[in-house]
Amino acid sequence: MLKTSLPSSRPSPPGRYYWRAQVLAWTLYGLFNLIIFRVFVPANGHTPAWVFGAMSGIIAASSLGASHVLRQLLWRGNWLARPPLALLGRLLLANAALSVGCVLVIGLVARLVLPRSIAGQGPPGWGEQLGYALNISILLSLWAAAYVGWHYLQRSRRAEIEKWRLTAAVREAELNTLRAQLNPHFLFNGLNNIRGLVSEDPARARQALAHLAELLRYVMQHSATPLVPLAQELEIVADYLALEALQLEDRLRYSLDVDPAARAAPLPPLTVQLLVENAIKHGVAPRPAGGFVALTAQLDAAGWLCLTVRSTGRYAPEQAVAGSGLGLRGLRERLTQAFGPVAEFRLENEPAAADAVLATLRLPVLAFAPPGQALSPATHPAAHSPIYSFTP
């Protein structure tokens, strides 16, 4: 079950960066007040110079305390989870109350700290006290705007990170589902075919086991890899076709025609294998006479990879919709994840042939190599000739 985190009603303990920012900001405000006092209230015999520093410190300390109380109210009252208008109303009321409280605290501390000759001169008038309260209220409003804005920014960043984390988890689950489906299919079909060869043709059985081992190793190692070179994908396609030929024998005819310039083009793993498997499963295997699978790959004039799988059969979109279609849907999703909306994939009946289906891929060639893999010619025999074509 997925859980979303909401702001807690219990205040989180402030960190050292919070206190550093608080002390720095209100110390600067205290220094600003000290400069104002020195400039506009010159020292005289009745008001020693140190009094200005004391008053600046008292004002800065009381303002720091008021801002911290405001932070506690934000968290204890769970205000940050409320709608903007409700939050604004609470902040305005809290600022007004805290500003009046600051003025009272400053007056009380001044009487306790300052000399009697200064503290006993009488309190300021109501107009001056209201001006002090308004000044502190403006400062607290600026502080609240900065704090709430920072909080919303952090929450937005956390939500974005959580979104990408969930997206990655979904993609990983999709790949794991695909891998869980592919492994049993490869394993059981391959083992059933090999079992019949053990007593009849041990040499072919050993060769088939080698193909199956390579195929399973590739699936386990690369099904969760974002991209692999086309050359590596062709290796697994060759192994897969060799295993299918054990079962279908003369009913399966296939050819691979690949331009060497296209071998380094990256694409999601098991992409070509899925197209070939789909062609054999729905076009070749159901027919008593079998059929053909022809794969071609080259770079077009724009430098994009153009890959086609032409096979015997007829494509019926209504039947594809009625069926699960999980493999092709997963292929489209993986292509979109890897290349975005520019990836092109089409599955259609070939216009020039009465009994042929054409699957076409057109992908941009990304200029990078997957981690731990070099986009270099593969070591599989099928990848060495500049343009190769073979049949079983």
Q: In this predicted structure, what is the pLDDT of residue 102? A: 83
Most confident of the following: 79-83, 308-312, 386-390? 308-312
Q: Using one digit for the tens of pLDDT, what is the confidence trace for 341-354?
A: 899 999 999 888 78
CA torsion 107-109-114-115 (nearest 10°) is 90
Q: Which letter does DSSP use for residue 123 in this model?
A: P
Residues 129, 269: one domain? no
Residues 149, 250: one domain? no
Residues 231, 128: one domain? no
Q: In this predicted structure, what is the pLDDT of residue 269? A: 86
Q: In this predicted structure, what is the pLDDT of residue 186? A: 56
% of the chain beyond a pLDDT of 90: 13
Contact 304, 367 (CB under 8 A): no
Residues 242, 377: one domain? yes
Quick check: is 141 in a domain? yes
Token match 């849907």: residue? 329
Residues 97, 232: one domain? no
Residues 92, 218: one domain? no
Give residue 352's identity as a one-letter amino acid code: A
Residues 140, 221: one domain? no
Quick check: is 1 in a domain? no
| Separation between Cα atoms, residue 55 and residue 45, nearest integer Å | 17
DSSP calls for 172-204: HHHHHHHHHHHHHHHHHHHHHHHHHHHHH-HHH
Number of structural domains found in the chain: 2
Three-state DSSP class for 324? Answer: coil
Residue 7, C-beta contacts closer than 8 angstroms, at least 6 positions apart: 75, 78, 80, 81, 155
pTM over 0.85: no
First to last CA, the chain: 50
Domain extent at residue 279:
201-383
Q: Using one digit for the tens of pLDDT, what is the confidence trace for 331-378?
A: 888 888 888 889 999 999 988 878 899 999 999 987 544 444 433 333
Q: Which letter does DSSP use for residue 268 in this model?
A: -
Compute the radius of gyration of the chain from its Cα atoms: 37
Bin 251: left if φ > 0, else alpha if -120 < ψ < 50, else beta.
Answer: alpha
Contact 358, 308 (CB under 8 A): yes
Q: Using one digit for the tens of pLDDT, what is the confidence trace for 177-203?
A: 655 555 565 567 667 777 767 777 788
Residues 147, 228: one domain? no
Quick check: is 6 in a domain? no
Residues 148, 22: one domain? yes
Phi, psi (deg, nearest 5) at residue 106: -60, -45
- For the ranges 253-267, 303-317, 358-372, the lowest mean pLDDT is seen at 358-372
Q: What is the mean pLDDT of residues 135-157?
A: 84
Quick check: is 185 in a domain? no
Token match 């993609």: residue? 171
CATH of residue 327's domain is 3.30.565.10
| Separation between Cα atoms, residue 391 and residue 293, nearest integer Å | 10
Residues 157, 300: one domain? no
Q: In this predicted structure, what is the pLDDT of residue 388? A: 32
Q: Which of 200, 178, 201, 205 is nearest to 190 (CA)?
A: 205
Contact 373, 228 (CB under 8 A): yes
Single residue among 112, 143, 162 that ends a domain in this structure = 162
Q: What is the mean pLDDT of residues 7-29?
A: 72
CA torsion 155-158-163-168 (nearest 10°) is 180
Q: What is the mean pLDDT of residues 312-325?
A: 65
Most confident of the following: 148-152, 228-232, 269-273? 228-232
Single residue among 132, 162, 192 that ends a domain in this structure = 162
Average pLDDT, the chain: 76
- Residue ranges of E strands in 97-227: none
Q: Return the H-helix or E-strand segment holding 349.
A: strand 344-349
Residues 156, 22: one domain? yes
| Separation between Cα atoms, residue 298 and residue 303, nearest integer Å | 9
Residues 142, 280: one domain? no
Quick check: is 336 in a domain? yes
| Separation between Cα atoms, residue 292 and residue 290, nearest integer Å | 7
Quick check: is 373 in a domain? yes
Single residue among 113, 143, 162 that ends a domain in this structure = 162
Three-state DSSP class for 326? Answer: helix
Contact 362, 305 (CB under 8 A): yes
Quick check: is 194 in a domain? no
Quick check: is 180 in a domain? no
Tell me the two tokens of residue 350: 């070939």
Q: What is the mean pLDDT of residues 270-280?
A: 88
Q: In this predicted structure, what is the pLDDT of residue 115? A: 60
